[in-house]
Amino acid sequence: MSETDSRGRRRIVIAGASGMIGGALARRLQASGDKVVRLVRRPARGADEVQWEPAAGILDAAVLNGADAVVSLSGAPTSRLPWTPAYKKVILESRLDVTRTIVDAIHAAERTPSVFVSASAVGFYGDRGDEDLTESSPRGYGFLSAVVDAWEAEAWRASDFTRVAIVRTGLVVGRLGAMPPLRLLARAGLAGPIGSGRQWWPWISLHDEVAAIDHIIGSGLSGPVNLAGPTPTTEAEFMRTLAERMHRPYGVPAPAFALRLALRDAAQELMLSSQRMLPTALLTDGFRFRDETVGAALAAYLDGRVK
């Protein structure tokens, strides 16, 4: 049972509200009149913050009582390089600790939240060439696929108590994350094919990422949900479009062998893997994308319309 008040305002708890996606989601929800509660790892600084310690499994279950949604977007960044054995452990454990702590609190809550939206990633699918990847496609192989599989399994434990939606996200076109280094490459005239350039890069604009999460909160969607733009794009098309919109040259290649030599398995999984991920569940559920092409998403990003 949720605590939506008589004016239709929802109470939504967010883990990871300090990140790019979580911050944008919080702003969108607050602009709609919703009450956002942020889970923070430092002492709380306001009535809208609650301190928790996911590494120690500490979260007061009362915080989740009757919430309209709990959204988990926390996890150590995979973009931090190199992937040493120690950092690989951090990538995995940061996701499991956060999700396990939230799910345990959902289990202990007197009135369970209406929905648990848990972050996931396109890495679930591994390197799949030109295969169309929908939510029913099986998992792939590799380090990230194994991480995401364990991450999602932890989130599924909440399904005995509440609706669970797992959002598999690709490259988000926004002010942080992968875009700043890609923009720097283009500005320096170094945009070009990474490896063959024929690998599919699932992308989504930050606007549509948070709009999709908001849509999922208010809909009946459950299970895995692919968060990717409706027009699949290869790496070469993505970087060429970025260079053209920045009025910079395109064509300087980054050989696959050099990337693998420098970055090892991170190069394969982050840059060279091909994932033609389709947002089948969102489209079937009636979600409408604002940025239907990578050109539209990049234009919004470069024009400063992404906050």
**Residue 226, pLDDT score:** 98
State phi, psi for 40 to the nearest 5 degrees: -125, 150
Inter-CA distances, 276 with 134, 135, 212, 221, Å: 9, 12, 19, 22
pLDDT in the model for residue 7? 56
Q: How far apart are CA 216 and CA 115, in angstroms?
A: 9
| Contact between 68 and 113 (Cβ < 8 Å) | yes
Q: How far apart are CA 113 and CA 126, in angstroms?
A: 32
Contact call for residues 306 and 206 (beta carbons, < 8 A): yes
Look at residues 271, 167, 273 and name the one whose alpha carbon lies nearest to residue 228: 167
Q: Among residues 193, 297, 200, 306, which one has the least CA distance to residue 245?
A: 297
pLDDT, position 1:
46
**At how many degrees (to 10) do helices 206-218 and 20-31 cross?**
60
**Predicted TM-score (pTM) above 0.75:** yes
Q: What is the mean pLDDT of the chain?
A: 94
What is the pLDDT at residue 305?
75
First to last CA, the chain: 33
- pLDDT tens for each residue of the chain, 307 residues long: 455 554 578 999 999 999 999 999 999 999 999 999 999 999 999 999 999 999 999 999 999 999 999 999 999 999 888 999 999 999 999 999 999 999 999 999 999 999 999 999 999 999 999 999 999 999 999 999 999 999 999 999 999 999 999 999 999 999 999 999 999 999 999 999 999 999 999 999 999 999 999 999 999 999 999 999 999 999 999 999 999 999 999 988 888 888 888 788 888 999 999 999 999 999 999 999 999 999 999 999 999 876 6
pLDDT in tens, 177-233: 999 999 999 999 999 999 999 999 999 999 999 999 999 999 999 999 999 999 999
Domains and CATH numbers, the chain: 11-173+204-230+276-290 (3.40.50.720)
